[in-house]
Amino acid sequence: MVSGLVILSHSCFLKPQEHVQSGFDDQVYGGSGMIWARMLAYITGTVDQELLLRNEYLAAENRILRAQIKGRLLLSDAEKATLAEIAHRLKRKALEELAAVAKPDTLLAWYRKLIANKFDGSKFRKSWGRPRVDEETERLVVRMAKENPGSVAMTGSWAPWPT
């Protein structure tokens, strides 16, 4: 059968006058391609069934694990972002059936916050005012002021007011 599929895949590239019809082609095409449609439906149906079984297994596993955990789950920001992105693609109706970690409203709120933070322009903002002084520089100036209490240059800046 595999060799027949190879022959068929090449026979579709032939011009109508070059196509030689065989008994195998008649069986497979059934006059209108019904067998191909059935095979395609069977294959996609099998894949869909497998995906449904996987989802069912994961849902059962999730229920079992959630029953063993007492209290709230504490999720990191990365975990929230992952769940929020998937939740946004699933939409609210599916989330109402599936969501076990948080309510659908919470998951969608996480997504809104994720998008708001992603596009808030914070990485392009300039800081205003004078740049902060290094801690090391500050310590050095304070030490110099303590070691030289009579220095006029340091008197008003870092050292206490002279009496």
What distance in Å separates the CA atoms of residue 86 and residue 108, rounded to the nearest whole number? 10
Q: What angle do CA 122, 124, 128 make, to 5 degrees?
A: 85
Shared-domain flag, residues 78 and 93: yes
Q: How many helices (H) and strands (E) does the chain have?
A: 7, 0
Residue 85 is assigned to a structural domain of this protein = yes
51 and 83 belong to one structural domain: no
DSSP per residue, 95-144: HHHH--SS-HHHHHHHHHHHHHHHTS-GGGPPPPSSPPPPHHHHHHHHHH
| 152: in domain | no
Written as tens digits, the pLDDT of the chain (163 aa) is: 344 443 444 444 444 444 445 555 555 455 556 676 777 777 777 777 888 888 888 888 888 888 888 888 888 888 899 999 999 998 888 888 888 788 999 999 999 998 888 766 666 777 778 888 899 999 998 998 888 877 665 555 554 555 4
Q: What is the pLDDT of residue 4?
A: 41
Q: Are 86 and 107 in contact (CB under 8 A)?
A: no
Distance spanning both ends of the chain, measured CA to CA: 105
State the DSSP code for 21: P
36 and 58 part of one domain: yes
**Are 18 and 48 in the same domain?**
no
Whether residue 25 is found in the same domain as residue 56: no
Q: Same structural domain for residues 62 and 91?
A: no
Say yes or no: 51 and 89 in one domain: no
Q: What is the pLDDT of residue 109?
A: 94
Write the pLDDT tens digit of every residue in 11-49: 444 444 444 455 555 554 555 566 767 777 777 777 778
CB atoms within 10 A of CB 86: 13
Q: Which domain holds residue 36?
A: 32-71
Q: In this structure, are 4 and 26 located in the same domain?
A: yes
For residue 155, is it within any domain? no
The span from the CA of 24 to the CA of 159, in Å, is 101
Count of domains observed in the chain:
3
Question: With a threshold of 0.75, does the pTM exceed it?
Answer: no
Same structural domain, 26 and 37: no
- Residue type for 47, please? V
